[in-house]
Structure 1
Amino acid sequence: MSAPYVLVLYYSRHGATAEMARHIARGVEMAGLEARLRSVPEVSTECEAVAPAIPEQGAVYVSPDDLKHCSALALGSPTRFGNMAAPLKYFLDGTSSLWLTGELVGKPAGVFTSTASLHGGQESTLLSMLLPLLHHGMLVLGLPYSESALLETRGGGTPYGASHHAGADGKRPLDEHEIALCRALGQRLARTARSLENDLG
């Protein structure tokens, strides 16, 4: 049996969501668990995977086993008209075998997103990613207002999950509050996963 890990699974087009994923992974590691960064391939308009088997840069592509064996999940996507991006949805639509066997039931999960505009659908995108996780029976974790950055942020940050205002060109760097909230989400997932494993052990 492999050591427990938090799967940080994301799709990123211009790099902002990938940067968030790295800060979430850092939060996971700060809480003492391994973070496993994974991505999903692009899809065509016919909803077929159209990327090389191994990405030229960034995280390797996720496998069903990465999801099956994780202790917790952080799921991220840029906003597409207030919804998650098609490549991530395409992957999630293919997880019915894990749903049938209940592999993800009771595991903690959280979500994160980035948008080009400040009010570009951050919260609706986060909620769209939560729906399949609820169907899988996962335990949804948000960000509580005890996180001071949630009250101080002028960019991203919601109680539904970490978010980032990337700007029209996708190049606006994460500010200190957005970074703090990404790391807080990673820490929360890792600590909850460890607590659950200790209770079961």
Structure 2
Amino acid sequence: MTSLIKDISIQVELGISSELGFRRIEPGILTRSETPLVLAWLGLNQGKRGACIEINPVVGVRNQEVEHVISDLLSEPRSEHVPPSISANIGYLSSARRYKCYLFDGARDNFVANMDLMVQDIRGVGYPFIVAMTNIACLIENLQSPRFHTGQAIYRVLVGLCLLNRKEEAELQIAVTAAKLDSRTDEAAKRMIRFIIALGRRFDLRVYLQSSMM
């Protein structure tokens, strides 16, 4: 089964590369240059379901400017391909808004049919999302929505607002975020405080933190 997963995964990656112009970066991750600052991003998660191999495509974008600023402010090494700035399972991007995967059983006819459907879905559902997310204002708006909000989204929202010179909004978001961190001493909270301080210095923001947070 492990060999079958590997074989099917490689064939799927080759098919995606051929049909949609993505380039394999590492197993299960493919990207394509969409604009000088934005990569179209595709993750192909794999697993077993009974006798079949399940492929779960995750579609998104990586805004290189936003991600590089985050890394620099945190004094962390820059990555060129991971993580994506925003992403979702292909099914959640469709009108149905529910999880979707593709089941491969190793048969040739099954592979061709599933590849055709996957390419069709990425092209018809995933690509419009990718194009929309190349706009940084649209990216920020979506990252703030319940649909895409995660614990890491606030980093991207704050940097995006600053890059758009929407400093008052960034300062308000910082105040809200800092209030939620009150009394926390865990590593995630410390990392966020470091980030907020560095962001304020870089973009000349008014940042007010309790002395206990500094």
State the TM-score, normalizing by the size of structure 2: 0.32
Bigger Rg, structure 1 or 2 = 2
State the TM-score, normalizing by the size of structure 1: 0.34
Higher relative contact order (CA 8 A, sep 6+): 1
- Structure with the largest fraction of helix: 2
